[in-house]
């Protein structure tokens, strides 16, 4: 059993409980609006709270930054996260494994589905230029990458996956208003189950900055990647999930 590890927020000095939050209220900027912001901060448990920034956002909204003390504690030992359960491979190792074990190119399709037009994330993973010095999946010689771009309807994504005989489908979602990312991902996973069956569908991977990585099973996908994911992370996971684990499963059956 994990021992409790209690921590408090840090602002000016260790353990002082100081936090900074920002939010917008749907009221014009005036003294009453600033008082409303401090009232909200107090109800959030900030005592005392200091208003450090207020700015009108058009005639009817005000943006605030509030700084203050909270008494809440965090037990780090109870925090649940998705740990990496696959080895991190170099590009050369990824290519070598695909060539040796799969003996053909690994086919990956990616798209922003629904009305989401933000392709920065999916492009960073798929396009050869990648992100932050990490080459995208197009850089991997043993992968064939199909980037469908933005605002792709789920039926079109399913059809493309069937036509390309995709091994994996990457779903990118940035727009989160009214939980659109969750609705769209559930719709996609249901469509793939219906079209392919649970045992024959491509590997489904969802990604975006607002996803909870613990929700993969609930959303019907195999893996969720969040912020700071690199193309190498995705490539390593695909090789492990599509090749290495299947090889281990075969060995277990024949043992």
Residue with tokens 């005000």: 62
250 tagged catalytic: no
Token pair belonging to 114: 């629904």
- Integer Cα distance of 38 and 92 in angstroms: 55
Q: Identify the DSSP state of 237.
A: H
CA torsion 232-238-239-240 (nearest 10°) is: 110
Q: What is the largest CA-CA distance in the chain?
A: 75
CA torsion 195-118-131-96 (nearest 10°) is: 10
Confirm if 113 and 173 have CB atoms less than 8 A apart. Answer: yes
- Integer Cα distance of 58 and 185 in angstroms: 34
In sequence order, the 6+-apart residues with CB closer than 8 A to the CB of 169 are 108, 109, 110, 111, 157, 161, 192, 202, 203, 204, 205
Determine which one of 100, 129, 135, 200 is catalytic: 129
- Integer Cα distance of 189 and 195 in angstroms: 10
In sequence order, the 6+-apart residues with CB closer than 8 A to the CB of 131 are 124, 125, 230, 231
Catalytic positions are 129
């Amino acid at each position: 059993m994990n021992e409790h590890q209690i921590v408090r927020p840090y602002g000016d000095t260790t353990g002082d409980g100081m936090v900074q939050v920002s939010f917008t209220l749907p009221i014009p900027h005036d003294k009453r609006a600033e008082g409303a912001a401090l009232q909200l901060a107090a109800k959030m448990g900030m005592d005392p709270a200091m208003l450090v920034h207020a700015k009108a956002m058009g005639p009817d909204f005000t943006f605030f930054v509030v700084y203050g003390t909270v008494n809440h504690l965090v037990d780090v030992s109870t925090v649940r996260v998705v740990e990496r359960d696959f080895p991190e491979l170099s590009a050369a190792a990824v290519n070598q494994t695909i060539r040796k074990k799969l003996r053909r190119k690994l086919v990956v399709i990616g798209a922003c589905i629904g009305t989401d037009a933000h392709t920065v994330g999916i492009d960073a993973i798929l396009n050869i230029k990648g992100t932050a010095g990490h080459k995208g999946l197009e850089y991997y010689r043993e992968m064939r990458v199909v980037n469908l771009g933005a605002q792709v309807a789920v039926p079109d994504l399913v059809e493309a996956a069937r036509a390309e005989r995709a091994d994996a489908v990457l779903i990118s979602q940035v727009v989160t208003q009214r939980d659109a990312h969750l609705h769209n991902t559930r719709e996609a996973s249901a469509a793939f189950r219906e079209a392919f069956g649970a045992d024959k569908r491509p590997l489904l991977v969802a990604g975006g900055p607002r996803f909870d990585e613990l929700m993969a099973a609930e959303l019907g996908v195999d893996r969720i990647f969040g912020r700071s994911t690199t193309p190498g992370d995705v490539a390593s996971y695909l090789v492990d999930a599509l090749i290495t684990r299947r090889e281990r499963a075969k060995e277990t059956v024949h043992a």
